[in-house]
Amino acid sequence: MQEYDVIVVGAGAMGMSAGYYLAGKGCRTLLIDADNPPHRNGTHHGETRIIRHAYGEGREYTPMALRAQALWGELEDETNRKLFLQTGFLQTGEPGSQMLTEMMDSAEEHKLPVEILDAAEMSRRWPGVTFPEKMIGCYEADSGIMLCEECIKAFRESAILKGAELKVMTPVTDIRPDREGVTVITSEATYRAKAVIVTAGKFAGGLLSQIGLTPPLDPIRKAVGWFGTETDEYDSTSFPAFLFDLPEGVYYGFPSIDGSGVKVGRHDGEHRPAPAEKALPEFGAYPDDEFDLKQYMQQYMPQAAKVLLKGSSCTYTMTPDEHFIIDRHPDYPHVVIGAGFSGHGFKFASVIGEILSQLATGEQPRFDLKLFSLKRFQKLSTKEG
């Protein structure tokens, strides 16, 4: 039986990052994935992800976002790959919007350079958008876009160069921890390690149930579309990544990169299940895949709403409060969990990989992780009971 210091089960964004940092420490590291990352069957595909620092989902995330940005920069330098585009980021909504208020508070608490703009100023800067008169916005110029598949490739190549082993197209069938370590069983072989990190996306719930954990993880299907533009007003050289917190829904998107079209998705809205054992229905499987996105574009970006160039579907693995799970198993501290990233985790993949590698090797991360503890679900059950 082959033995390692740490085995990483699930080598998507978080797992591949963790493997990279483990290998960098000199740990004997094995990464195992049921597919061949980067791939289209998880949560890391779709070309782009937003990275932002003043965080509307909770100011506790901001120190992690800043660390993530620094680590992405280090990975760019090390691999000579372009991973980040500094397009800026605009979050807008009506006064009193919870996400907008939290972003402002986060910027103030952490002294981040964020501009507060009214509708007239936003219309002047970005004439391709129709901003209702009562809208306000927060603009963060040093944020932007991560090229997600390129990020996975960079972590993968560097982790292997540092000595990590990678097994692809290899589903894990069982995880068996004991007091001395953990045994990981796949369809092909059995492996042994001092510690394991479980970062298996929509498969995490099933794997964790084997080791006595049942966190409320809900994999759901989401759709995104790319819309053709008639002008250069939406080009990434002048147009930011964006998030609209509207009464009718929360929409996010990306400028057109080299003519790719404006990419837009809806963060909230219809929650269709994405069972781990079933293939994800392609974009267009449901009529509202296109209709919902096109309706938003027609109202707010009419010059980019006429032609849908392409669409894609992906998976969010949700927790009830939409905060992550980053923790150790309560009975087996050498079993580390990274799960439930709820559709806003990718930007943090660099720092979360660093944190998971530290937890697996007995180090103390620099961040307060109480927000991401498994214990919060026990408290939730107690209150509901």
- Which DSSP letter does residue 269 get? S
Dihedral sign from CA coordinates of 215, 361, 156, 17: positive
Q: What is the dihedral of CA 296, 297, 302, 303, to 10 degrees?
A: 180
Number of C-alpha atoms within 13 angstroms, CB side, residue 270? 16
Q: How far is residue 65's CA from residue 336's CA, in Å, rounded to a whole number?
A: 21
Cross-strand partners of 251: 244, 266
Q: Which residues are catalytic?
A: 45, 48-49, 263, 267, 314, 347
Q: For tokens 């970005």, what's the residue?
A: 126
Residue 116 CB neighbour total at 10 angstroms: 13
Helix (H) or strand (E) holding 17: helix 13-24
Q: Which two tokens stand for residue 104?
A: 């402002």
Instruction: Look at residues 88, 89, 90, 85 and name the one whose alpha carbon lies nearest to residue 73.
Output: 85
Torsion angle of C-alpha atoms 53, 58, 61, 62, degrees rounded to 10 = 40
CA–CA dist 381, 358 (Å, integer)? 29
Cβ neighbours of residue 145 closer than 8 Å, sequence gap 6 or more: 48, 49, 50, 51, 84, 85, 87, 236, 241, 254, 257
DSSP 326: E
CB 85 within 8 A of CB 105: no
Q: Omega before 38 cis (within 30°)? A: yes
How far apart (Å, rounded) are the C-alpha atoms in residues 6 and 209?
20
CA distance 18 to 1: 23
